[in-house]
């Protein structure tokens, strides 16, 4: 992954973690709660570290990461990773946050 994307990914992930906890849990300073919820989920083994998810994504769809979101998909945490492929196409991967299994790859 390119170094300039590291900060962007951290910012995108921090802003997109609202799905980790119930909607009512985000009252007040939601950014701090997003971070806390993500750290707690990682500590409980509910999600793999982002570095591992990005390595899995790179293996399946080489290119530059554009966006990463952690979402609750019917009670299952899923990383949604958008990648600009070397061919110029944007691909979206859904990756099981706990196991790292690639659930879906589609052209966006």
| Longest Cα separation, the chain | 43
pLDDT value of residue 73: 86
pLDDT averaged per 10 residues in sequence order, the chain, 108 residues: 44 44 46 75 90 96 94 88 95 97 94
Domain count for the chain: 1
Query: Which residues constitute the domain of residue 75?
Result: 3-107
pLDDT value of residue 35: 72
pLDDT value of residue 16: 46
Strands 90-96 and 63-73 turn out to be unpaired
Q: Is 38:26 a contact under the CB 8 Å cutoff?
A: no
pLDDT value of residue 106: 95
CATH number of the domain within which 48 lies? 3.10.450.40
């Amino acid at each position: 992954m390119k170094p300039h994307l590291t900060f962007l990914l951290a910012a995108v992930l921090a802003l997109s973690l609202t799905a980790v906890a119930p909607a009512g849990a985000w009252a007040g300073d939601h950014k701090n709660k997003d971070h806390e919820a993500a750290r707690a989920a990682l500590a409980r083994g509910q999600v793999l570290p982002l570095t591992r998810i990005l390595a899995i994504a790179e293996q399946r769809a080489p290119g530059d990461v554009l966006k990463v979101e952690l979402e609750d998909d019917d009670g299952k945490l899923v990383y949604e990773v958008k990648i600009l492929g070397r061919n110029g196409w944007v691909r979206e991967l859904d990756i099981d946050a706990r196991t790292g299994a690639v659930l879906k790859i589609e052209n966006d």
